[in-house]
Amino acid sequence: MLDWLYNIVGWTLVQIHAGLSFVGLNPDSGWAWGLSIVLLTVVMRLLLVPLFVKQMNTQRKMQEVQPKIMKLRERYKHDKERLQKESMKLYQESGTNPIMGCLPLLLQMPVFFALFSVLRSVAEGQARYGFTEELANSAREALIFHAPIAAQFNTTPEELRQLGATDPVMAKIVIAIACVVMGTTTFLTMRQSIKRSMAQQPDNPMMQTQKIMMYLAPAFGLFGLAMPVGVLVYWVTSNVWTMVQQHYLYRNQPLPGDGDQSDKGGSAKGSAKGMLGRKKAPETAPEPKEEPKIERKQPKKQPRSKRSGGSN
């Protein structure tokens, strides 16, 4: 059912490899095929950037309606059906879609499985998904730091030699290191995202579950033992991209109230946004200037004779 997606991923990988070969890279080298996977990941993530921005906007809107959600939970704490109905009504009125928070991840998974299937087909030497027999053999025997792209940790030494590995032990060490890097980057990516979510929604009841998933993230490295090296390259590249992307977007879209805290630390760049958000230091009241005194001249008192003469 997903052959159409496998064909798209395989065809894109072949075209990127052809472009790298055109600029001078050895088409049979691990550099050419490894960079092809990296660039395939970058292309896929670039297409998902708009969805990631929408995800951030959704999280901000959910933060704004969080006080109302808490009131609904308190009001309908004994009526879960009514609580769910009122919560969905509130989300619709505010234009918030909670599903958007998971959509970028959900869209990445089919590409991940497609690449896994393409590389598994390459490991078997099959000319499928846009690969000719010549390209399949080239990718199958390409080495990344002594490890064949199509090899897994549980690949036997004999199979590793058939895939072109000159030192099967070193190949397994490289794969093990790649699995550790995969688990570490997965943990750091989730930690970065969860810290943001905790700051936005500290009362979220799902937060404890997310924390547990975060600390179990290094276990993903164990799943990497059953993945081809090319898939590990894809996963690590995707994690690094996510960390950089989240750092950039989180910095440019700070949480409400973060502007004052960031300004207290002192911004060396002195950006316009920081200058506008910075609180002015209380100014001392200027000392009152002493104004010149105006002397009023009192009219001289005239004698009674002059006053009576003037009246006549």
260 to each of 118, 198, 265, 276, how far by Cα in Å?
50, 19, 9, 10
Predicted confidence (pLDDT) at residue 253 exceeds the cutoff of 80: no
Average pLDDT over residues 13-26: 92
Of 13-22, 227-236, 300-309, the least confident: 300-309
Classify each residue of 144-157 as buried b or exposed e, where b means 16 or more C-beta atoms within 10 Å of its C-beta. bebbbbbbbbebee
Only one residue has tokens 């598994």, namely 120
User: What pLDDT score does 101 carry?
Assistant: 58
The pLDDT-based confidence of 279 (bands split at 50, 70, 90) is very low
Average pLDDT over residues 290-304: 54
Rg (CA), the chain: 34
Average pLDDT over residues 118-138: 85
Q: Where are the alpha helices (DSSP H) in the chain?
A: 3-22, 30-75, 80-94, 103-123, 133-140, 157-162, 168-200, 207-215, 220-223, 229-252, 258-264, 272-277, 304-311
From 13, 40, 41, select the one nearest 27 (Cα to Cα).
13
Predicted confidence (pLDDT) at residue 254 exceeds the cutoff of 70: no
97: its two tokens: 């879609």
Predicted confidence (pLDDT) at residue 144 exceeds the cutoff of 50: yes
Longest CA–CA span in the chain (Å) reads: 143
Q: Chain-centre distance of CA 78, in angstroms?
A: 37
Predicted confidence (pLDDT) at residue 256 exceeds the cutoff of 80: no
The pLDDT tens digits for 56-115 are 777 677 777 777 877 877 887 777 788 778 778 877 777 776 665 566 667 777 877 888
Predicted confidence (pLDDT) at residue 20 exceeds the cutoff of 90: yes
* Contact indicator for 179, 219 with CB cutoff of 8 Å: no
The pLDDT tens digits for 165-214 are 889 999 999 999 999 998 888 888 888 777 766 655 555 555 566 667 66
Both ends of the chain: CA-CA distance in Å?
Answer: 127
User: What pLDDT score does 312 carry?
Assistant: 45
* Contact indicator for 13, 119 with CB cutoff of 8 Å: no
- Show Cβ contacts of residue 21 under 8 Å, excluding neighbours closer than 6 positions: 27, 32
User: What pLDDT score does 122 carry?
Assistant: 83
The pLDDT tens digits for 223-245 are 888 888 988 898 899 889 988 88
User: What pLDDT score does 98 carry?
Assistant: 61
Mean residue pLDDT across the chain = 75
**CA atoms within a 13 Å half-sphere pointing along the CA-CB vector of 263:** 16
From 217, 248, 206, select the one nearest 102 (Cα to Cα).
206
Quote the percentage of the chain above a pLDDT of 70: 70
* Contact indicator for 182, 231 with CB cutoff of 8 Å: no
Predicted confidence (pLDDT) at residue 262 exceeds the cutoff of 80: no
User: What pLDDT score does 280 carry?
Assistant: 43
Average pLDDT over residues 24-43: 91
User: What pLDDT score does 11 carry?
Assistant: 92
In DSSP terms, 143 is beta-bridged to 148
User: What pLDDT score does 258 carry?
Assistant: 52
> What letter represents residue 294's amino acid?
I
300 to each of 297, 303, 306, how far by Cα in Å?
9, 10, 12
